[in-house]
Amino acid sequence: MKDLYKLAKEALPNSYSKYSNFKVAAVLRMKDGSTISGVNVENASFGLTNCAERSALYAAYSKGYKKDDIVEILITTEQDEFVSPCGACRQVLRELVNEDVNIHITNNKGDSKTVKNIDLLPFAFTEKNL
């Protein structure tokens, strides 16, 4: 997990967060050993902002990876406290990542908390609801 934290910290400066000044980075570890990073990208029309978790996931899917390829995810910020994924990211994580995948939430001090994907959004709206 330390390698993922290092990669996430390296990606943080790429965040385009000129409105909130709140940088977030996420790194996915894939089954083949590769990693995919994402950062938050804000927009003056705030609804068009994309979070780091979704940026990384969409990049992975754009490269042909699927949910069974994702082994773990690490999310970090420049904050000293833990910041969990927003509701929209939790919904996307639930659909695009297997339920048992570990999500590591880290802070600026390098501390971490790990939860299973299913625990981020236990009553998610899924394809089963359609």
Q: Do the domain assignments include residue 51?
A: yes
Give the CATH number for residue 102.
3.40.140.10
Cα separation, 22 vs 60, in Å, equals 23
Indicate the pTM of the whole model. Answer: 0.93
- Average pLDDT, whole number, for the chain? 96
> Which amino acid is residue 61, in one-letter code?
Y
Label residue 46 exposed, middle or buried (CB < 10 Å: 0-12, 13-18, 19+).
Answer: exposed
* Whether residue 78 lies in the annotated active site: no
Domain that holds residue 49: 2-123
In the chain, how many domains are there?
A: 1
Residues 50-59 have pLDDT tens digits of: 999 999 999 9
Catalytic residue, candidates 10, 53, 78, 81: 53
> Which amino acid is residue 50, in one-letter code?
N
Q: Which pLDDT does position 31 carry in this prediction?
A: 98
Residues 79-117 have pLDDT tens digits of: 999 999 999 999 999 999 999 999 999 999 999 999 999
Burial per residue of 103-127, b for 16 or more beta-carbon CB atoms within 10 angstroms, e otherwise = bbbbbeeeebeeeebbebbeebeee
Q: Which pLDDT does position 77 carry in this prediction?
A: 97
Q: Which pLDDT does position 6 carry in this prediction?
A: 97
pLDDT higher than 90, residue 128: no
